[in-house]
Every structure is written in C-alpha cells, then in structure tokens.
Amino acid sequence: MTYLQRWKSKLWLIGVAVGVICLVVGAYNGQLEDIYRKAIAICLECIGIG
Amino acid sequence: MKGHKKLGIDKLRLGVQTIYTILTNGYLYGYLNGKIYQGKLKYACVPGLNCYSCPGAVGSCPLGALQAALNERNITVPFAVLGFFFIFGSILGRFVCGWLCPFGWVQDLLHKIPLFRKRKKLPYHHILKYLKYVVLVGFVLIGSSFLFTGFAKIPAFCKFLCPSGTLFGAIPLLSTNNALQSQIGGLFFWKLGVLLVILLVSIKVYRPFCQYLCPLGAIYGWFNRFSLVQVQWQQEKCTSCMACKRACPMDLEPEEISVSEECIRCGKCVDACPQDCLHLGNHKADKCEV
C-alpha cells in the first residue's frame, strides 16, 4: 500500500474531525438553537403555502 | 457487511430504508392532530432529505436547516449544518441516498411498479446529471441568501422545488389541519405538480430526483471518494464480465463505482458480481484497487 493510498484511506477521519469541530463551533455560536427554532415551527414555504 | 449475500442486499436495503423512515417519521400524534414534533431531537439534523414539517419527523432536515441559516439577517458561516454534512458525508457518503433517504425509498418503491419499460436514465443524462449542482448553487445557496422575490431571503429550494416537503409535510398536515387548508393557493399546486411529475417519472426512470435534482445528493457525492463506507473493487479478480454495470441502476463501470459522485452504494453490483470482487464495506485501501 503506497503512502498516498494509506493517506486517502484515512481522509474520512479528517472529514469527521472537521465536522465535529464545525459542530462544536456552531453550537458555541447558538446555531443549534437556530436549527431547533426553525424545525419546531411549521415551515410554510416547505408545505407550499408560504 | 458479511452475510448480506444470503439475504440479498436489495431486500436488506429495503428493510433498512423502511425501518429508518418509520423511526425518523414516527411521531404518530402529529399525523393524527395535524401538528409537528417539537421535542429536543430536532436539535439534530437527520442525514437524508426529510422535511421537518412532516408531522411525524423527529429530526431536522439538513437542507432546510442550511437554508434557514443562510436566511439569517447577518451573513454567518453555517458551522453547525456544515458539521452535520461533514460527519454524515465522511462516514457514509451517498450511502445516505441509497439506504437512509425517505424520498429515495419512495422512488425505489415506485420504480418496482410493473408499469412501463424501465429506464436507468433520462435522455441527455450526461448533461442533466449536473442539474443538481445548479439546484444546489442556484436554489439552496444563492437563492436562499439574497435572490428571488425582491431580494428577500427565502428558502428557495424548499419553497419552489422540494418534493419531500409536499409529500411528507404538506399532504399529511393539510389533510388534518383546517387552518392551513384555508391558505392553499397557487404555490401549493405548483409544488404538487412538481411532486406528481417526479413520482410519475420515478415509475419509469430510476430515482430521477436523486440523479438530476437533489442538492443533498450533490453534497454527499463530493464525499463519495473518501467516505468510510465504500464499494471496494478487487481488480485482480475482475473478469470484466460487466454484470455489475448491467445491475447498477446508475449504469457505472466497475472502475467508476467507488469514486463516482453518482454511486448511491445500493450494492446491486455486489450482488451481481459472479467473481465476488465487489464488496460493500469500510474503506480499506489495501484491498481496494481504484
């Protein structure tokens, strides 16, 4: 297995790490609250009357 | 994924899709009373296209959440939604489309109806397959940020295109909620028309929405090259019989399967391979020769 193949096979881990960091930063900035607030109200655009 | 060949990967996939759709849309009280779930699970996005205005939905739609973040008055980077995309995408890639998306499941079921001669793709597929990127940029990113209706910020994809919102959100909600019924207008009928066209075409063509329009598929397709879940192809065992290509609903060659943005990891190629040289499982570069 070449160095490049080995590196590529671990790329998903870097992606997950980036995702976790983004999620933590987002949560710190209150973005999870924003998602929740939007999701618990009926989205009129989504159902075609807004 | 050992043992899947005995069960038949297509039946296994159908079971997973059904159970997942029921679990993520299992808030029965909502269907009965025309209301939506408001519990804490909605802090998290689900991986697939699943309208959060579906009365049964227990999680948030990632595309809806992305557009809502882009609709905010102050322009901010939507870190939280990007986080969900990176986590789901890096682990699963378009496995989400093949195994976990409720709207993909609906299209799969419709394609099983024994009507019309089945087709894998539409004419001009090589051009039309890029339409989903146009939808992603035009409707989800730009549309939600500052275009349409006099520069007002609106979730353009949800408002004008999303068939999942009409099928899982509008139809069950409007059938039980009288207050919402009185507000039905032209936009609803436009969205109903979009849904009906997609559902009808799905009977003949395999997953037309996923292949040509879904911006979520466009996002997860980008992760396909390096996601943990891969279709591994052992080139040294391959006899180039092309049984996998004939079985592949996306019409991919064996060397394309693992790296293509179009592969939804359905596993039909794995079932079809007589040499057992295709495997659906985790990323192991020592076995994968692509």
- Give me the residue spans of the domains in chain A: 3-39
Question: Which one of B222, B253, B270 terminates a domain?
Answer: B222
| Same domain for B247 and B153 | no
| Same domain for B213 and B158 | yes
Structural contact between residues B27 and B57, judged by C-beta atoms closer than 8 angstroms: yes
CB contact under 8 A, B83 and A20: yes
| Same domain for B149 and B20 | yes
pLDDT on residue A4: 65
Domain that holds residue B265: 228-282
Using a CB–CB cutoff of 8 Å, tell me whether B45 touches chain A.
yes
How many Cβ pairs within 8 Å bridge chains A and B? 169
pLDDT on residue A6: 73
Q: Tens of pLDDT along B82-109?
A: 999 999 999 999 999 999 999 999 999 9
B10 in a structural domain: yes
Q: How far is A35 from chain B (nearest CA, A)?
A: 6
| Same domain for B272 and B210 | no
Closest Cβ opposite residue B90 in set A16, A26, A50: A16
| Same domain for B107 and B233 | no
pLDDT on residue B289: 42
Q: With the CA atoms of B219, B224, B228 and B233 taken in that order, what torsion angle do they form, in degrees rounded to the nearest 10?
A: 170
B255 in a structural domain: yes
User: Distance (Å, rounded) from C-alpha B139 to C-alpha B13?
Assistant: 31
Using a CB–CB cutoff of 8 Å, tell me whether A31 touches chain B.
yes
Distances (CA, A) of B251 to B162, B238, B268: 26, 17, 11
| Same domain for B182 and B269 | no
CB contact under 8 A, A42 and B36: yes
Sort out which chain B residues have CB atoms less than 8 A from A16's CB and list them: 86-87, 90-91
Q: How far is B227 from chain A (nearest CA, A)?
A: 5
pLDDT on residue B7: 61
CB contact under 8 A, A32 and B80: yes
The per-residue pLDDT of chain A, averaged, comes to: 88
CA-closest candidate to residue B217, choices B172, B157, B152 = B157
pLDDT on residue B257: 84
Q: How far is B28 from chain A (nearest CA, A)?
A: 16
pLDDT on residue B152: 57
Q: What is the pTM of this model?
A: 0.90
Q: For residue B67, what is the enclosing H or E element?
A: helix B62-70
Sort out which chain A residues have CB atoms less than 8 A from B219's CB and list them: none
Q: Is the per-residue pLDDT at A9 higher than 80?
A: no
| Same domain for B173 and B277 | no
Sort out which chain A residues have CB atoms less than 8 A from B38's CB and list them: 40
| Same domain for B248 and B137 | no
Give the residue ranges of chain B where pLDDT is below 50: 2-3, 148-150, 285-290
| Same domain for B211 and B86 | yes
| Same domain for B277 and B214 | no
Q: Domains in chain B: how many in total?
A: 2
CB contact under 8 A, B51 and A26: no
B242 in a structural domain: yes
B98 in a structural domain: yes
